[in-house]
Amino acid sequence: MTALLSIRDLTVTYRRDGSEVAALKHVSLDVAAGERFAIIGESGSGKSTLALAIAGLLPQSTRIGGRIDWLGRDHAPLGGRDIGFVFQDPSASLDPVMAIGEQIAEVAHTHLGLTWSQSYAKAKSLLERVRLPEPDAALRAYPHQLSGGQKQRVAIAAAIAAGPKLLIADEATSALDTIVQAEIVALIRHLVAEDGMTLLFVSHDIALAAELAERIAVFRHGQLVELGATAQIIASPGDAYTRALLDAHLGLDAEPLLQQAGASG
């Protein structure tokens, strides 16, 4: 297994109004090239901060300690070209007054040096790849004309337009209902396999992550709690917090919390 990136002793501190908040504390981990890696945690765990730090998207005022090393490349990765990022809220990451085709074509034009007509052809083929119905019409559509799931498909198309090595999905399915969520997860799995991308899947939902990822890192209060192969984390978690997360999951087969006797029927 060749490593794609290596994180050593990463500490991230946000500064706001004179006070400092440590969002990540001494995190070290490696991500292998081509693997599907999940980062799991509840709110305040630092999981999104880690994703932003890897993508180089932290605000200027943030203090960053430790190292993030990209192995096997001679230059620092460029957001948009080497890293695709899909955010939780697709409405926030898409420009509301720009046609969808243009938004995707712009990525291809900027990072791949294609002409505009080549870029639009690329945009159309990307919309086909993310299985948006009627890609020709969609090129000219605006974000508000699409449903939440369709917008997330467009955001994914824009994220992979420049052929990145790493795709980061930060709670990319949390705002969607279960059915659309399952479709988007299937789409991400398919695209990552087809292009040989590395996937960083950030989520609060350990069951969802377990369906997609080969390895899982569990975060809590800015610290890495546990890291391991999915099957091992799920079947025999080493940390009490991981076990608590698994126990808190309410699956279809979970024990009912309800005492049926409480019903008056």
Tally of helices (H runs) and strands (E runs) in the chain = 10, 9
Shortest distance, position 229 Cβ to other proteins, whole Å: 7
* Interacting residues with other proteins (CB under 8 A): 16-18, 36, 42-43, 147-148, 176-183, 189, 193, 204-208, 210-214, 229-231, 234-235, 244-246, 248-260, 262-265
Q: Which one, 21 or 244, has the nearer CB to other proteins? A: 244
Q: Do 155 and 148 meet the contact criterion of CB atoms below 8 Å apart?
A: no
Q: Which one, 119 or 198, has the nearer CB to other proteins? A: 198
Q: Which one, 20 or 74, has the nearer CB to other proteins? A: 20
Shortest distance, position 146 Cβ to other proteins, whole Å: 13
Q: Do 80 and 121 meet the contact criterion of CB atoms below 8 Å apart?
A: no
Strands (E), 135-185: 166-170
Q: Which one, 133 or 256, has the nearer CB to other proteins? A: 256
C-alpha distances in angstroms, 238 versus 89, 93, 155, 165, 208? 33, 37, 36, 31, 20
Shortest distance, position 36 Cβ to other proteins, whole Å: 8
User: What is d(CA 74, CA 63) in angstroms, rounded to the nearest whole number?
Assistant: 25
Residue for token pair 């508000």? 144
Shortest distance, position 162 Cβ to other proteins, whole Å: 25
